[in-house]
Amino acid sequence: LLRVARLRRRAAQAGLADVVAMGPNLRVAPAHLPDSLRVRMQRLYPKAKLVASGEALVVPLPGDGDPVSDTDLVAWVGQLLDALFPVSEPASAAADASA
C-alpha cells in the first residue's frame, strides 16, 4: 500500500491525472512529451502509442499476457514514470543529498 501511495505521489508530481491499468495496457494521461522523450519512449517501449495528440499514452503491460505480481507492476510503472516523465528535484532536496 505504501508503494502505491508513493507511485501516486510521483505521478502527481509529474502532472499526471491518470495512471490506470486497463486490460493488457497501462494508460497514462496527460502525456505531453517533448520530442526527446518521444524518442526515448519509442526506444524503451516500442509498442507504446500516443493517443489523441498526446492526451494519453498507452503502453502494453510487461509479461506477455502472463499475470504480473502487484509488486513487480508497481516497480515497472515507477520505472516508466522515471524514464518518460522526469521530475526535477527541488534545489533544497538536491543540496541536502549532496551534503
Amino acid occupying residue 42 = Q
Q: Which three cell numbers stand for residue 27?
A: 494508460
Q: pLDDT (tens digit, 0 to 9) for every residue of the chain, 99 residues total?
A: 899 999 999 999 999 999 999 889 999 999 999 999 999 999 999 999 999 877 899 999 998 767 788 999 999 999 999 999 998 766 545 455 555
Q: Which residue has the cell 500500500?
A: 1
Q: Are 87 and 13 in contact (CB under 8 A)?
A: yes
Cis amide leading into 30 (omega within 30): yes
Write down the pTM of the prediction. 0.81
DSSP assigned state of 33:
-
